[in-house]
A = this chain, B = another copy of it.
Amino acid sequence: MLKIERALEEVDANLEKSVADLLELISIPSVSGEEAGKPGIAQAAEWLNDALAGIGFSSRVVKTACNPVVLARSDGAPEGGKRLLFYGHYDVQPVAPRDAWTHDPFAPKIIEEDGLRRFYGRGASDSKSQLWSFVEALRAWKAANGTFPANIVIMLEGEEEMGSPSLSDFLERHREELDCNVAFICDSDMWSPARPSITTQLKGLVHETVTIRVPNPDLHSGHYGAVAANPIRILSNILSSLHDGKGRVTIGGFYDGVNELTERQRRRWNDLLEEMDGSAEVSLAGGVIEDGYTAVEAMWGRPTADINGITGGNQGPGGRSVLPGSATARLTFRLVAGQSPETIRTRFRKFVSDRVPEGCNVEFDGPAGNAAVHLSETNPFLVATARGLETEWGQPTVLKGTGGAIPLVGALHDGLGVDCVVLGFILESDAIHAPDEHYDVERFHRGTRSWIRIFGEVREAAAV
């Protein structure tokens, strides 16, 4: 206990200094997904590498086919102890539309607002404050106690916001270095401003792009609208047949292997929903929820087919009256346990192909998908983490699902056999990916203190 208390004191004492460093990190425009962001990416990786080395890690910047990973290890830690991996990402979303920002996205300052010491900036919430909270907690533990709380591996990614194109190659090349007893994936959110959470069910994800091509390139719709194929009409017909009147996906075999939600799970999730605040921000008006399920059950526990984009013919302005040669839709499928990404892809392609009229063609495209991940809620590291969060926040930790996917979790869990704990301190109201993204000193402080509590609980539970 003494070690925990000493480390918490160190966190409290160093708060202003650690926040100042965090603001410096946020001021580096490490935008991935834009050519103009490359220098900021390089600068942020070097900055973090120096910071980790300064704390006593053996750290290096590892080049990949895309953006570098900062990879650090605690070489001096006791042999034979448990090894904990911490994951965060230092890249940020693009800023556009810049005009919509009230605050400079790369010049954060502390502003007293709503009783908080808030700071605005791209990456303030997603995910620089997140990664800096565990780095500062590790620094404080070592400063207070002379050593790190366990063998530590830190992996800071620089391309999360662009879909992690080189992540799987990186994991494959560094299997041994990444080997650990538990990986803390710090890129998730709290249940509410007062209540911590751990995400234990993540959906799988399959992207598909469908292009319908008709035999003729652009035709005059006045001349041929009554007789020639219209790819937008064909595509609309297919998309509108993807769901039945009960909100169920009509692709043959789509639900094969999907287990019905247990009564216990339903009860727990629905109880949670009742106390959820902040959900009022999103209106469900006009939405279709699968018959027989509540909103939370559908969001976390049921597979979906979503249309994310559609393009074809005249995009305006102006009234060019054309029958286009092709039309394209972009879809995503969110999978639950029991569904294979490749099987769903195959079945979707068959569903579409069966509905394309003779003489017309369809083309499909989509990157490799990933399956759903269900993490054991009785895993000792997860239980210890929940206890640590509970101690800091004074409220039971919510074990929740998400409709989102974090491909890394599946890769570590299913690919490398690593136990994962997915947590974080983001709030829905932080405006992540949006203008005026923000975070606050109070939450950063309590997040950092949470890690100290987690270190203590994990050491006790796992006899580190």
Contacts and interface: CB of A to CB of B under 8 A. Distances in A.
A224 B299 contact: yes
Contacts of A360: 285-286
Of A226, A233, A234, most B-chain CB atoms within 10 Å = A226
B222 A405 contact: yes
B225 A403 contact: yes
B314 A404 contact: no
A239 interface: yes
B299 A309 contact: no
Nearest to A432: B220
A229 interface: yes
Given A283-B215, A286-B215, A403-B226, A314 B334 contact: no
Contacts of A332: 221-222, 225, 319, 321
Contacts of A311: 310-311, 315-316
A371 B310 CA distance: 32
21 contacts: A162-B318, A222-B334, A222-B403, A224-B282, A226-B304, A227-B295, A227-B298, A228-B283, A229-B287, A232-B308, A236-B236, A236-B240, A237-B240, A239-B240, A285-B360, A306-B321, A309-B313, A310-B327, A311-B316, A313-B330, A316-B330
A358 interface: yes
A322 interface: yes
A285 B402 contact: no
A284 interface: yes
A14 interface: no
Given A209-B319, A228-B284, A308-B322, 6 more contacts: A207-B319, A221-B306, A224-B282, A225-B332, A233-B240, A309-B313
Contacts of A288: 229, 233
Nearest to A356: B286
Contact of A298 (B226, B320, B356): B226
A214 B286 contact: yes
Interface in A326-361: 327-330, 332, 334, 356-360
A310 B315 CA distance: 7
A222 B203 contact: yes
B224 A403 contact: yes
Interface in A215-254: 215-216, 219-230, 232-237, 239-241, 243
B286 A227 contact: no
